[in-house]
Structure 1
Amino acid sequence: MGTEQPSFKQVRKRIMAVPGDDFDLRDHPARDETLFELKEDAVASAEADAFAIDELQDRLYAEGKRALLVVLQGMDTAGKSGTIKSVFRATSPMGMTVKAFKKPSSSELARDYLWRVHDAVPPKGFIGIFDRSHYEDVLVARVRKLAPKDAIAERYEQINAFEKLLVETGTTIVKCMLNVSKDEQAERLKARLEKPHKRWKFNPGDLEDRALWPDFMKAYEKAVERCSTTHAPWYIVPSDSKSRRNAIIARLVRGALEDMNPQHPDPGYLPEDFEIS
């Protein structure tokens, strides 16, 4: 018999990086079975939440007044695309947008670093998903020294102001750091090489980032500490277990939508006003 599944508030409290507090990744294990003790419970919870998310998204789309932005950020193999497939498996693509942020184009580099991000924000009525995000500009840019230190130092408050603008104009933000361990990443990278159907996903450049693991972890700690705010807190999702990762994020998304409580609009007429022959 399965155990009782955690509520949205329990999940949120367990994994949220408290705004204003010091942040240390060592306090957030990459494998944590306290929320979903049994794998089958995690699978069942994620499936149930996926259908609930679909119904809530339908109401959000019909209402057309607000949006939800889900930010998925993590090291290679943390499971960003796998999370999207699981959490939104039942959601109609008619009310969703997905943006994968890759290396900026020459046109994007000619503008401020948030320009391409703002352009990808979901319109009202939609759920938008960022596979990587504007945080690349304080993670990769910091580790790889792609911008001056002073410019990167200024970006944390710029990001906070940007997210505050989105929230104040009707977009709820759920930011998830998919926290995968270095050992688990090694196993997943090996699987990409060993399994032919996964080999296309292997990128030799991933090994370069892996060699800089301590630097990336420090960059993540800095970004979370500086940018976990009351209007857009960070959630540190243990991601060594794929099923539990999916269940946790599905519960966060469902909970955010339930808090938004979108409503079908009043059409302005009564059914009995019409006769269909």
Structure 2
Amino acid sequence: MNLQKYKVTGSIKLDKVATKEVQEDAKKKLKKVRRKLSDLQDTMYAEGKYGVLICLQGMDTSGKDSLIREVFKDINATGVEVHSFKVPTALELQHDFMWRHYIALPPKGKIGVFNRTHYENVLVTRVHPEYIFGENIPNVASLADLNDDFYHDRMERINDFENHLAKNGTIILKFFLNLSKDEQKRRLFRRLNIQEKNWKFSMADLKERKVWDKYMCCYQDLLNRTSKENAPWFVIPADDKPTARLILSKILLEELLKYNFKEPSLPAKVQAQVEEFKAQLKNE
């Protein structure tokens, strides 16, 4: 599998990118990758030099929640932190638009997963610009102030933010789950038809479908402007969930292996006394 084909390295057009790919035995293959990721995270934790930030974006029903569950289930529970960002709270709106994301960053040794991310600030607010007024930003008085320049400037601030993190030991990998509108329709029907799935349905999902094309335009713009070598975007075909999970997990493994994490050695003084320590324990 050529994993680099999913990486955004130049200008892309989303309507030219496949939303469906099917890998044979994807569930079985995922189990093997999960075990390797678990071992890798243990070593990363022991080394203590890097943290990992996984950013997940995608339209409603693109499979973010189930992907998190299936990809990270074999990693030590204390080694993964998941944050799902909803509508900003009153406290969060009293700070700049990046604040709530900064305080949720993973410490060194751990994997942090943002389920919806700081990119909502140049995505949902661009489709629904009236939401910006809740931030009470100086010099933003009307919708006319929320033009392309405003959002492109925010993207530059995000690039600065991620560059700062990367230079200080955070490995950033960003994934857009590329779902087709037809597949979303099928999944929404499933939520309505299966009683135990009813709770997942929201009338807002139907509202957002009406501006699908605008969302795709905004996604395309942010992918092209914010995929950087130290914080790349990967576009994952999401119509087949098992394959999407496998592709993402393989990319994650491949990218993390580049860092050649190593467990630290015992200090020389302690190493010289190992046999003595063994003897003490044996003679207790």
**TM-score over 0.5 (shorter chain):** yes
Aligned residue in 1 for 2:139: none
CA deviation after TM superposition for structure 1 residue 186, in Å: 0.5
Aligned residue in 2 for 1:194: 193
Residues 213-271 of structure 1: CA distance to partner in whole angstroms, max 9, x if unpaired?
A: 00000000001010011111110000000010000011011112211222211232223
Q: Distance in 2 between matches of 1:227 and 1:190?
A: 34
Q: Is the 8 A contact 1:174 1:252 kept in 2?
A: no
Residues 167-188 of structure 1: CA distance to partner in whole angstroms, max 9, x if unpaired?
A: 1000111100000000000111
**What is the identity, as a one-letter code, of the residue corresponding to 2:43?**
R
**What is the identity, as a one-letter code, of the residue corresponding to 1:104?**
P
Q: Does 1:28 align with 2:27?
A: no
Q: Is the 8 A contact 1:50 1:87 kept in 2?
A: yes
**What is the identity, as a one-letter code, of the residue corresponding to 2:32?**
A
CA deviation after TM superposition for structure 1 residue 50, in Å: 0.6
The alignment's TM-score, normalised by the length of structure 1, stands at: 0.91
**What is the identity, as a one-letter code, of the residue corresponding to 1:22?**
S
1:89 is aligned, of 73, 97, 105, to 73
**What is the identity, as a one-letter code, of the residue corresponding to 1:154?**
D
CA deviation after TM superposition for structure 1 residue 153, in Å: 2.4
| Paired residue total | 261
List alignment gaps of at least 5 residues for structure 1: 1-5
CA deviation after TM superposition for structure 1 residue 14, in Å: 1.2
Q: Distance in 1 between matches of 2:54 and 2:210?
A: 28
Q: Distance in 1 between matches of 2:11 and 2:257?
A: 30
List alignment gaps of at least 5 residues for structure 2: 133-145
Q: Distance in 2 between matches of 1:185 and 1:245?
A: 15
Aligned residue in 2 for 1:3: none
Q: Distance in 1 between matches of 2:165 and 2:48?
A: 16
Aligned residue in 1 for 2:39: 55
Q: Secondary structure at the match of 1:84?
A: helix
CA deviation after TM superposition for structure 1 residue 273, in Å: 3.4
Q: Does 1:273 align with 2:276?
A: yes
Q: Is the 8 A contact 1:79 1:242 kept in 2?
A: yes
Q: Distance in 2 between matches of 1:124 and 1:231?
A: 17
Q: Distance in 1 between matches of 2:234 and 2:106?
A: 20
Q: Distance in 2 between matches of 1:57 and 1:182?
A: 35
Q: Distance in 2 between matches of 1:138 and 1:46?
A: 32
Q: Secondary structure at the match of 1:253?
A: helix
Q: Distance in 2 between matches of 1:233 and 1:138?
A: 17
Aligned residue in 2 for 1:98: 82
2:109 is aligned, of 120, 125, 131, to 125
Q: Does 1:172 align with 2:199?
A: no
CA deviation after TM superposition for structure 1 residue 202, in Å: 1.1
Q: Secondary structure at the match of 2:40?
A: helix
Two-structure CA RMSD over aligned residues (Å): 1.2
Q: Secondary structure at the match of 1:98?
A: strand
Q: Distance in 2 between matches of 1:136 and 1:273?
A: 57
CA deviation after TM superposition for structure 1 residue 207, in Å: 1.1
Larger Rg, first or second structure (1 or 2): 2
Q: Distance in 2 between matches of 1:45 and 1:188?
A: 24
Moved over 3 A (4+): none
Q: Is the 8 A contact 1:179 1:238 kept in 2?
A: yes
CA deviation after TM superposition for structure 1 residue 27, in Å: 2.3
The alignment's TM-score, normalised by the length of structure 2, stands at: 0.89
Aligned residue in 1 for 2:151: 152
Q: Distance in 1 between matches of 2:36 and 2:51?
A: 17
Q: Distance in 1 between matches of 2:275 and 2:126?
A: 63
My pick for the range that moved more, 203-212 or 132-141, is 203-212
Q: Distance in 2 between matches of 1:27 and 1:173?
A: 26
Q: Secondary structure at the match of 1:113?
A: coil
Q: Distance in 2 between matches of 1:47 and 1:179?
A: 23
